[in-house]
């Protein structure tokens, strides 16, 4: 047996939960020792009786390479000479009960293609990044006053190769980047590409927190995709899942024969809804494992931020539980105090070490100060998904237009809390699966009304305060529910109606990025003011967006009835013109609108000193701006 090369400094930091480069210590690492090339293996299994490394280099024999136990730290390690890049390996762990279990490496940086589960030794050569300018600019990113329009992508179903297989990371770089540039999004969000055993989980049941899935290529292939995005001015966000993990026997569950990463008591350690396990955030080594994973992606893959999944399930001890199925915290409350401290630590460490990156919370409750600094009691995220806006807006648009006047509060209530957090408006994958139907199919009426309503939804989202997120396929009116098993319905783009929806999204992205009024004050009350939110009988709303010295008036008509001679108040007199109309024939609409300049007269209306008359298109939204 060879002695290990781990040092106590690394192990002390790890046991304290503060080793921010733990991915360079734990797992499998190629190195040369005393002139001999090989691999150092290291794994945390404090309750194991013994641990061996097994692989294709020793015929998977547990008796060949027993590991050395660093008793104080619960870490086992071993240097094995002669192991080469590409070698497959696992850990053979003897539990205190004498059972021999086989586990893959929690810190593995590459894995076999599912259903195989072994980790793979990789050679960490320095990837030749070409995104230096991007990273320098990102460190100064003024995200609160910049446009953020995210295209959410599932890499395995965006588009398929002609043979029917998935596209590789490099093929995605060739096809996805030009498409995102054409449509105008600022960022791509990849649904979880961390390694996972089940396609149907979409990556949300992760087993390899330090490895990109091998479904689409190698780790360097993913680096190439991200590098090319950056060189073309596109940011990349990764979906990341620290809230739970699957029970698969080869992975983290009962890792050393005990509840090591999870809680022993199922009232703390099991998600009833998802039949998955919950991390023990109070254990230092578990916190280090998770924060180390986040840092790993920010550091070695240059990602521009993380969307943290299912934050609400982490914050509440009684999340989706019956009254008798949870344990209160030490003060008798339902707050998960350990998870709260973990999230604060996660955000502080990631943002201090990688300035300009974005931490986003999928948090669906009214938990306060999710996007406020931890120093004043917040969780420290940059952005929070505005699930309330999404649910209210979709619920409203699913109503028959005749009855929308009775649900007008669904449009107006969101502005009561819109600036209590830094919100992102999500039209995500979750809204187009499991019988919910696609976005366009949610809309009532005939085909024309469905397309008009979808254009209205997107126009409303892009003129509403906050960052934007749209799931792939929505931008051209995908009609089928999304499935990970098939590519998007690209043939729909042979039809003018769907071409029009795509053209509208392109123009909305362009307007959002070029018009300061639509993004400069997207997280501040100074950037939004109602003109009229009370016209429920006609289902019309109007509001003012401001940014810098620019002001834009937005008027939306949520019925299929055109409104002629509709008077609205405006902040200044003189000539105004229509800058955008979702009902344009260019987008497949009926071209009802205001083709000529409009004169704002000195006639007080809606609390404004001037007013003008406009024509409102059916199921349409217009943006107006003063000529000056």
Active site residues: 309, 362
User: Of 189, 178, 620, whose CA–CA distance to 424 is shortest?
Assistant: 189
Residue 570 contacts residue 611 (beta carbons within 8 Å)? yes
Environment class of residue 554 by beta-carbon count within 10 Å: exposed (0-12), middle (13-18) or buried (19+)? buried
Q: Which two tokens stand for residue 252?
A: 């983290």
Residue 302 contacts residue 223 (beta carbons within 8 Å)? yes
CB contact set of 40 (below 8 Å; sequence gap of 6+): 4, 5, 6, 28, 29, 31, 33, 77, 78, 79, 80
Alpha helices in 301-367 (DSSP H): 311-315, 337-353
φ, ψ dihedrals at 296, nearest 5°: -55, -45
Question: Radius of gyration over alpha carbons of the chain, in Å?
Answer: 27
Burial annotation 474-508 (CB, 10 A radius, 16+ → b, else e): bbbbbbeebeeeebbbeebeeeebbbbbbbbbebb
Strand residue runs (E) in 516-619: 528-532, 540-547, 550-557, 563-570, 574-581, 598-600, 610-616
DSSP readout, 435-491? TS--HHHHS-SSHHHHHHHHHHHHHHHHHSSSEEEEETTGGGT--SPP-TTS---GG
Q: In which region does residue 548 sit, left (phi positive, over 0), alpha (psi from -120 to 50) or beta (all else)?
A: left
């Amino acid at each position: 047996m060879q002695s290990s090369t781990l040092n106590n400094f690394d192990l002390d930091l790890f046991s304290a939960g503060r080793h921010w480069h733990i991915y360079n210590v734990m797992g499998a690492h190629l190195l040369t020792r005393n002139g001999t090339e090989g691999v150092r293996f290291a794994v945390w299994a404090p309750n194991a009786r013994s641990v061996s490394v097994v692989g294709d280099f020793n015929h998977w024999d547990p008796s060949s390479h027993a590991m050395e136990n660093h008793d104080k730290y619960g870490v086992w390690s071993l240097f094995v000479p002669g192991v080469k890049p590409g070698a497959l390996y696992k850990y053979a762990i003897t539990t205190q009960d004498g059972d021999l279990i086989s586990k893959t490496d929690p810190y593995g940086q590459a894995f076999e293609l599912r259903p195989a589960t072994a980790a793979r030794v990789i050679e960490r050569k320095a990837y030749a990044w070409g995104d230096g300018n991007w990273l320098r600019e990102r460190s100064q990113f003024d995200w609160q006053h910049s446009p953020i329009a995210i295209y959410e992508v599932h890499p395995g179903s965006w588009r398929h190769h002609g043979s029917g297989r998935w596209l590789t990371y490099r093929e995605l770089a060739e096809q996805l980047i030009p498409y995102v540039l054409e449509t105008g999004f600022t960022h791509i969000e990849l649904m979880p590409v961390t390694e996972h055993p089940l396609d149907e989980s979409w990556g949300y049941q992760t087993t390899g927190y330090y490895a990109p899935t091998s479904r689409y290529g190698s780790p360097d292939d993913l680096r190439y995709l991200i590098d090319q995005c950056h060189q073309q001015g596109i940011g990349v966000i990764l979906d990341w899942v620290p809230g739970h993990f699957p029970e698969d026997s080869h992975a983290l569950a009962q890792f050393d024969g005990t509840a090591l990463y999870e809680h022993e008591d199922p009232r703390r350690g099991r998600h009833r809804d998802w039949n998955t396990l919950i991390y023990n955030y109070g254990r230092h080594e578990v916190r280090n494992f998770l924060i180390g994973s986040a840092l790993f992606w920010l550091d070695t893959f240059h990602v521009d931020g993380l969307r943290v999944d299912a934050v609400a399930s982490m914050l509440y001890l009684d999340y989706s539980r019956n009254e008798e199925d949870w344990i209160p915290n030490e003060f008798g409350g339902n707050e998960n105090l350990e998870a709260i401290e973990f999230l604060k630590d996660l955000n502080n460490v990631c943002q201090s070490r990688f300035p300009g990156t974005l931490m986003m919370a999928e948090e669906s409750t009214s938990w306060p100060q999710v996007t406020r600094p931890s120093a004043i009691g917040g969780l420290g995220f940059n952005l929070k998904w505005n699930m309330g806006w999404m649910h209210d807006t979709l619920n409203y648009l699913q109503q028959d237009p005749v009855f929308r006047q009775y649900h007008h509060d669904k449009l107006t209530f969101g502005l009561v809390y819109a600036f209590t957090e830094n919100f992102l408006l999500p039209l995500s994958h979750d809204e187009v699966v499991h019988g919910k139907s696609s976005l366009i199919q949610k809309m009532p009426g005939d085909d024309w009304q469905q397309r008009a309503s979808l254009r209205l939804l997107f126009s409303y989202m892009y003129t509403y305060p906050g960052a934007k997120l749209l799931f792939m396929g929505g931008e051209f009116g995908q009609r089928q529910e999304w499935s990970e098993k098939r590519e998007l319905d690209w043939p729909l783009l042979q039809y003018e109606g769907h071409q029009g929806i795509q053209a509208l999204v392109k123009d909305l992205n362009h307007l959002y990025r070029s018009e300061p009024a639509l993004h400069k004050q997207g997280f501040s009350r100074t950037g939004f003011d109602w003109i009229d939110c009370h016209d429920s009988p006609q289902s019309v709303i109007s509001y003012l967006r401001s940014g810098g010295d620019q002001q834009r008036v937005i008027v939306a008509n949520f019925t299929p009835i055109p409104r002629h001679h509709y008077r609205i108040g405006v902040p200044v007199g003189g000539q105004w013109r229509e800058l955008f109309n979702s009902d344009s024939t260019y987008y497949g609409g009926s071209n009802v609108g205001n083709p000529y300049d409009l004169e704002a007269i000195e006639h007080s209306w809606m609390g404004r000193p001037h007013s003008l008359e406009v024509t409102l298109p059916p199921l349409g939204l217009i943006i107006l701006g003063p000529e000056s």
